[in-house]
C-alpha cells in the first residue's frame, strides 16, 4: 500500500456552465477505489447524477471484503454488476425526487477501479465513452473504452447491468499505473477506435514521480484549454494511481505515410498536407485488425515503408505485400512464397503453386511463423490464422473490399456538385410552374368578379328606370285629378252665383 500513490483533478469545460464530470479517489488500509463519472451534456441535471453515482460506487465497493482473483466466478461477477447498477439507479432516482427534478434529466457514464494490493487483485468497470488505461512495463498499454457503440451508454439505461464491462485481473509486479479519464482528454491521452496512448500521456504518468503531481496535471490541462478555439472544450476529469519508481517512456504515436511524403496521425482520415483520403490510398490492404501494429512495423522498417510508398506512386498499394496478410501454409511438398493473386514484379498474377519445391535450405518440417496458431496474451485459447480468400475481380464503382467506390475523389466531387445544380434547377422549374398556376387562378377569379359587377350594375340601372317610369305615371294622374277638381270647384261657384242672382230678383 505504501508504494501506491494517487491524485485526481477535474475542470469545467469552456462550453459548459457547470462541470458535469465528477472524480474521486478513496483509500484505506485494504483498498484503493477510484471512480469517475461523466454527466451527459444534453441533460440539464447530469452533474447531480455524476456526483451521486461516484459517491454510491465508492460506498458500495467500500463494503466489500478483500478478495482474490480466484474467488471471482462468472455468476458472482454478474450478481455484483446487477447489484451495483440497481443501487446506483435507486440513489439517482431518490436524489431527483428530493430536488424535484425529472428523472429523465439525470444520467452519466461510469468508470471505476478497486485495488486490493495485499491480495494482488484489481477490479475494474467501464460503461460509456470514458477510458481506463492500464500501464505495464512488459507490454503495450491496455485501454478499456466502450467506443464501438453509437452515442454513449449510461447508468440509467435499462440494460446498463448487462452492458457494463467488469474485469478482474492480478495486480502483479508489471502493473505500474492505472489512469482514468473522461472523453474531455480524447485525442490527448487516448483515441477512440485505436489501441495506443498519446505520447503526451507521459506527462500525466510521470507527474506521479513529483512532489506536486496535481499541480503538474493542472498546468498541462490549463495549457490545453487556454485557447478559445481549442478542441479540448469539454469537461475534463482524470485520476492516476501509480507505483512508478522511474519515468515512463511510451512509443511514438504511429503515423500513416501519404504518397506526398507527409506523415499523418492514425486518427486523421485525410492527409493534412494534400488532403488525400486514407481509405482510398490503403483500400487494397487488409490490416487484419492490426492497424496500429502494421504502421509501427513500417516505422521500424524504413525499407518496407519505402516499398509501400513506391507502390502508391505506381497508382495503388496493391503491389505492396502486406506483412500481416494471410498466406497459405507451405509444406515440404507444397511451398510458395509468392502470395496468390498478388501482382508480381515480372508482370501478371502468380497462381497458387501446385507442387512447388521448398526453399533452399529449409527443413522438411518448415513452417513459417505467420502460418502458425498465435497465442494472444491473456487468453487461454489459441486462435488460428484465417486462410486467404479467393480474390474477386473489382466491379465498376465497387472496390475489391466491397466498401468504398473506386471513383476518384475529384470526380466524386464533380458528380456531387452536378447533382446539387440539377436539384436546384428542378426546384426552380417546379416553383415557376406553381407560380404560373397561381397567376392563372387569380386571373380567373378577377374575371368572375368583373362579370358579376357588370351584371349587378345593369340590374340596378333597369330597376332605377322602372321606378322612374312608375313615378312619372303616378305624377301625371295626380295632375289630371287636381285639374278636374279645380274645374268642379269653378262650376260649383258659378251655379251658386246664379242662384243668388235669382233669389235677389
Angle, in degrees to the nearest 10, between helices 291-300 and 302-313 = 110
How far, in Å, CA of 411 to CA of 260, rounded?
Answer: 20
DSSP-derived letter for residue 248 is -
142 sits in which H/E element? strand 142-145
How far, in Å, CA of 505 to CA of 498, rounded?
Answer: 11
Give the count of beta carbons closer than 10 Å to the beta carbon of residue 332: 13
- Cα dist. 184→106, 232, 236 in Å? 19, 6, 5
The runs of H, that is alpha helices, within 210-353 are: 213-224, 278-281, 291-300, 302-313
32 sits in which H/E element? strand 32-38
Strands 175-181 and 142-145: unpaired
DSSP letters spanning 427-468: HHHHHHHHHHHHHHHHHHHHHHHHHHHHHHHHHHHHHHHHHH
Angle, vertex CA 115, rays to CA 111 and CA 120, nearest 5: 140
- For residue 221, pLDDT over 90 is answered with yes
Contact 132, 180 (CB under 8 A): yes
- For residue 330, pLDDT over 50 is answered with no
What the block records as the C-alpha cell of 302 is: 524504413
Contact 57, 35 (CB under 8 A): yes
Q: What is the pLDDT of residue 24?
A: 96
- Provide mean pLDDT across the span 343-371: 38
Residue, of 259 and 4, whose pLDDT is higher: 4
How far, in Å, CA of 376 to CA of 353, rounded?
Answer: 31
Cβ neighbors of 365 (< 8 A, separation 6 or more) are: 332
Q: How would residue 500 be classed by pLDDT, with cut points 50, 70 and 90?
A: low
pLDDT digits (tens, 9 = 90+) for 248-300: 888 888 888 888 888 888 888 899 888 888 888 888 787 777 788 888 888 78
Termini Cα distance of the chain: 172
- Return the closest-CA partner of residue 323 out of 366, 385, 276: 385
Q: What is the pLDDT of residue 385?
A: 40
CATH 3.30.465.10 assigned to 5-242:
no
Q: What are phi and psi of 343, to 5 degrees?
A: -70, 130
What the block records as the C-alpha cell of 180 is: 482514468
Contact 88, 56 (CB under 8 A): yes
pTM over 0.85: no
- Cα dist. 15→108, 152, 224 in Å? 18, 19, 14
Q: How would residue 180 be classed by pLDDT, with cut points 50, 70 and 90?
A: very high
How far, in Å, CA of 205 to CA of 239, rounded?
Answer: 10
Q: What is the pLDDT of residue 23?
A: 96
How far, in Å, CA of 45 to CA of 43, rounded?
Answer: 6
Q: What are phi and psi of 248, to 5 degrees?
A: -90, 135
Q: How would residue 351 be classed by pLDDT, with cut points 50, 70 and 90?
A: very low
Boundaries of every domain in the chain: 5-242, 408-505
Task: Look over the chain and give the mean of its residue pLDDT values, rounded to a whole number.
Answer: 76
Q: What are phi and psi of 34, to 5 degrees?
A: -125, 135
- For residue 362, pLDDT over 90 is answered with no
How far, in Å, CA of 11 to CA of 18, rounded?
Answer: 10
How far, in Å, CA of 15 to CA of 232, rounded?
Answer: 10
Amino acid at each position: 500500500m505504501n508504494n501506491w500513490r494517487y491524485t485526481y483533478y477535474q475542470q469545467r469545460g469552456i462550453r459548459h456552465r457547470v462541470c458535469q464530470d465528477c472524480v474521486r479517489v478513496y483509500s484505506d488500509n485494504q483498498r484503493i477505489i477510484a471512480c469517475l463519472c461523466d454527466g451527459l451534456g444534453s441533460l440539464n441535471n447530469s452533474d447531480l447524477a455524476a456526483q451521486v453515482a461516484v459517491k454510491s460506487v465508492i460506498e458500495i465497493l467500500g463494503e466489500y471484503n478483500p478478495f482474490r482473483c480466484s474467488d471471482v466466478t462468472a455468476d458472482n461477477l454478474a450478481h455484483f454488476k446487477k447489484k451495483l447498477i440497481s443501487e446506483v439507479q435507486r440513489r439517482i432516482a431518490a436524489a431527483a425526487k428530493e430536488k424535484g427534478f425529472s428523472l429523465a434529466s439525470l444520467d452519466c457514464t461510469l468508470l471505476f477501479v478497486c485495488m486490493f494490493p495485499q491480495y494482488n487483485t484489481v477490479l475494474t468497470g467501464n460503461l460509456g465513452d470514458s477510458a481506463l488505461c492500464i500501464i505495464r512495463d512488459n507490454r503495450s498499454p491496455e485501454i478499456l473504452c466502450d467506443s464501438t457503440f453509437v452515442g454513449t451508454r449510461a447508468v440509467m439505461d435499462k440494460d446498463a447491468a448487462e452492458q457494463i464491462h467488469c474485469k478482474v485481473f492480478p495486480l502483479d509486479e508489471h502493473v505500474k499505473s492505472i489512469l482514468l479519464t473522461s472523453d474531455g482528454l480524447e485525442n490527448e491521452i487516448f483515441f477512440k477506435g485505436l489501441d495506443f496512448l498519446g505520447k503526451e500521456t507521459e506527462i500525466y504518468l510521470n507527474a506521479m514521480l513529483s512532489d506536486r503531481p496535481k499541480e503538474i496535471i493542472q498546468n498541462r490541462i490549463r495549457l490545453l484549454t487556454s485557447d478559445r478555439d481549442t478542441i479540448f472544450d469539454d469537461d475534463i476529469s482524470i485520476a492516476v494511481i501509480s507505483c512508478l519508481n522511474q519515468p515512463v517512456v511510451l512509443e511514438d504515436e504511429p503515423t500513416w505515410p501519404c504518397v506526398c511524403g507527409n506523415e499523418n496521425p492514425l486518427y486523421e482520415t485525410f492527409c493534412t498536407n494534400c488532403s488525400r483520403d486514407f481509405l482510398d490510398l490503403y483500400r487494397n490492404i487488409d490490416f487484419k485488425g492490426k492497424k496500429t501494429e502494421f504502421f509501427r512495423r513500417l516505422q521500424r522498417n524504413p525499407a518496407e515503408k519505402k516499398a509501400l510508398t513506391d507502390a502508391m506512386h505506381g497508382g495503388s498499394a496493391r503491389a505492396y505485400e502486406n506483412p500481416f496478410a494471410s498466406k497459405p501454409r507451405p509444406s515440404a511438398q507444397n511451398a510458395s512464397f509468392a502470395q496468390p493473386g498478388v501482382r508480381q514484379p515480372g508482370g501478371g498474377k502468380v497462381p497458387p503453386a501446385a507442387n512447388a519445391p521448398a526453399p533452399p535450405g529449409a527443413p522438411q518440417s518448415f513452417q513459417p511463423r505467420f502460418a502458425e496458431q498465435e497465442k494472444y496474451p491473456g487468453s487461454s485459447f489459441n486462435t488460428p490464422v484465417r486462410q486467404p480468400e479467393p480474390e474477386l475481380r473489382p466491379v465498376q464503382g465497387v472496390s475489391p473490399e466491397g466498401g468504398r467506390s473506386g471513383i476518384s475523389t475529384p470526380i466524386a466531387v464533380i458528380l456531387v456538385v452536378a447533382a446539387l445544380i440539377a436539384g436546384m434547377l428542378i426546384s426552380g422549374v417546379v416553383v415557376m410552374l406553381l407560380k404560373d398556376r397561381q397567376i392563372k387562378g387569380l386571373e380567373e377569379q378577377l374575371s368572375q368578379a368583373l362579370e358579376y359587377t357588370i351584371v349587378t350594375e345593369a340590374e340596378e340601372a333597369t330597376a332605377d328606370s322602372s321606378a322612374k317610369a312608375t313615378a312619372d305615371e303616378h305624377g301625371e294622374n295626380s295632375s289630371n285629378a287636381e285639374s278636374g277638381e279645380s274645374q268642379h270647384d269653378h262650376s260649383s261657384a258659378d251655379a251658386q252665383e246664379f242662384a243668388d242672382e235669382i233669389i235677389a230678383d
